[in-house]
């Protein structure tokens, strides 16, 4: 019924009925297997985010505009407003998470270990660690 009710509106405001063209990710996908270092993967990631962020932000902005829409007779339900805002935030958060993941990878490969970092057992044996493998302990409640 809603499609029928919107027919006159769409006749007066024609909108594209085909999906918008997708960005060509082929160069990024082809470059990724050739990347050998975290810096090279980071460069690909940054290029992809820079190329797609404007479109994703534009879509998120549209969802916010839809959430804020106030017709003369109707308004969105509080639930739909919340869902639209969450969708917009999710899009923007995805970009931030990609940047954070990239930074974590770079830190792991480029940042020197801190002086107060606790040594791991695998790299620094102590007097309390045994030199060889030990059998796993079985407790009455455990399942292995």
The two three-digit tokens of residue 2, written as one number: 């809603």
Long-range contacts, stretch 98-106, CB < 8 angstroms, 24+ apart? 98/45, 98/49, 99/49, 102/41, 102/42, 102/45, 102/46, 105/38, 105/41, 105/42, 106/38, 106/39, 106/42
pLDDT at 86: 96
Nearest to 98 by CA among 39, 43, 49: 49
**Gap between the Cα atoms of 17 and 105, Å rounded:** 41
What is the model's pTM?
0.66
The fraction of the chain above a pLDDT of 90, given in percent, is 54
Segment 63-74, tens digit of pLDDT: 999 988 866 556
The two three-digit tokens of residue 117, written as one number: 């970092």
Segment 5-64, tens digit of pLDDT: 999 999 999 999 888 888 899 999 999 999 999 999 999 999 999 999 999 999 999 999
Rg (alpha carbons) of the chain, rounded to whole number: 26
**Gap between the Cα atoms of 65 and 59, Å rounded:** 10
């Amino acid at each position: 019924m809603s499609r029928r009710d919107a027919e006159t509106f769409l006749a007066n405001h024609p909108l594209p009925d085909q999906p918008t063209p997708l960005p060509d990710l082929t160069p990024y996908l082809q470059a990724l297997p050739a990347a050998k270092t975290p810096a090279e993967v980071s460069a690909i990631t940054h290029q992809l985010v820079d190329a797609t962020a404007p479109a994703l932000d534009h879509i998120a902005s549209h969802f916010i505009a839809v959430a804020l829409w106030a017709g003369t007779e109707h308004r969105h339900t509080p639930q739909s407003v919340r869902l639209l805002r969450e969708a917009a935030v999710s899009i923007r958060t995805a970009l931030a998470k990609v940047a954070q993941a990239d930074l974590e990878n770079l830190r792991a490969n480029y940042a020197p270990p801190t002086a107060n970092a606790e040594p791991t057992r695998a790299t620094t044996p102590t007097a309390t660690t045994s030199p060889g493998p030990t059998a796993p302990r079985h407790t009455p409640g455990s399942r292995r």
